[in-house]
Chain A
Amino acid sequence: MVWLGYAILALVLWGITGVTQKLSTNRISSERSFLWFCWAMVALSAAVLVVARPHWGLAPVVVVCSVAGGALNGLGAWTSFRALGSGGKASIVISLISLFPLLTVVLAVLLLHERLTWMQLAGAVVAITAAILLSLEPAPAKTEAKG
């Protein structure tokens, strides 16, 4: 169950970014915020170079998938900003986007032949439902500036 520890670490770190991102976009534009987010990724990778032991001879499919991971993640963030900037209500857009793990589950089962127990399948459905409910902001008590 070591994987669960790492998954929860990711969950906590990404959860904190929900707050830091808001603190950022309250002060600068979302585009500029995204740009500095990317620069931080570059800085982190430079730091990782100190401890990483990149070895040549990686399987091409692995390299393609890793690079594609960055591109898909970054483009996804960009399209989510575009969705919010194209007149979509934040509560609807974010709730809709929260469905993305559903696609991962379907693709993993179909293409990677992963098998889920009934409990895990129920857990995936409950997790996606929870993510959608958490994304629904309560009606504001007073008007609040949002970046």
Chain B
Amino acid sequence: MSEEGRSRSLPLWLIWSLATIVLWGTWGLVSKIASAGVDAYVNQLLFTVGIAPLLVFVAWTVGKRGKSGESTGKPEGRGKGVFWAFLTGVLGGVGNMAYFQAMVKGGKASVVTPVTALFPMVTVLLALVFLKERLGRVQWLGLALAFVAIYLLNA
């Protein structure tokens, strides 16, 4: 795209980012509505029905690239990569169920969602301990604010 064209239209990454905000922001709303009439187990089943078309689409995309000989990953450690991705799905799914159960138990969408959105605090702590990553001052500040937020939201 030319410089002129780029300045006239929104960059693609911004459009995808805004779409993500709308999709995940609305997810909290529909979860709260659903929590009035269904338990976390049944919600997980219906949730998977909702994600199924995307699974088919992504599988088709990955399969098409594989057939065309395009690389879809790094050959070394592929099995481990699949294992970690699968574990991510299981933990993410159980996390979804806990998130939903928080709403079933009376948590407001406007409070539960900001609390659970603090999950990067756990990620940075784990990355600090297990991946030996270092934290910047800004992240330490974020970590401190996360604890303040939980206290305030619980008030």
Q: Which residues of A contact B (CB under 8 A)?
A: 1-29, 31-45, 48-49, 51-55, 58-59, 61-63, 65-76, 78-80, 82-84, 86-88, 93, 96-105, 107-109, 111-112, 114, 116-117, 119-120, 122-124, 126-139, 141, 147
Q: CB-CB < 8 A to B39: which residues of A?
A: 52
Q: B37 interface residue, CB < 8 Å from A?
A: yes
A-B CB contact pairs (8 Å), 14 listed:
A3-B102, A16-B123, A37-B88, A38-B58, A43-B89, A74-B55, A80-B17, A86-B13, A96-B21, A104-B28, A104-B114, A123-B149, A133-B145, A134-B121
* Majority-rule SS of A interface residues: helix
* Majority-rule SS of B interface residues: helix
Q: Are A141 and B82 in contact (CB under 8 A)?
A: no
Q: Which residues of B contact A (CB under 8 A)?
A: 11-14, 16-34, 36-39, 41-55, 58-59, 61-62, 65, 71-74, 76-78, 80-103, 105-127, 130-131, 134-136, 138-139, 141-143, 145-146, 148-155
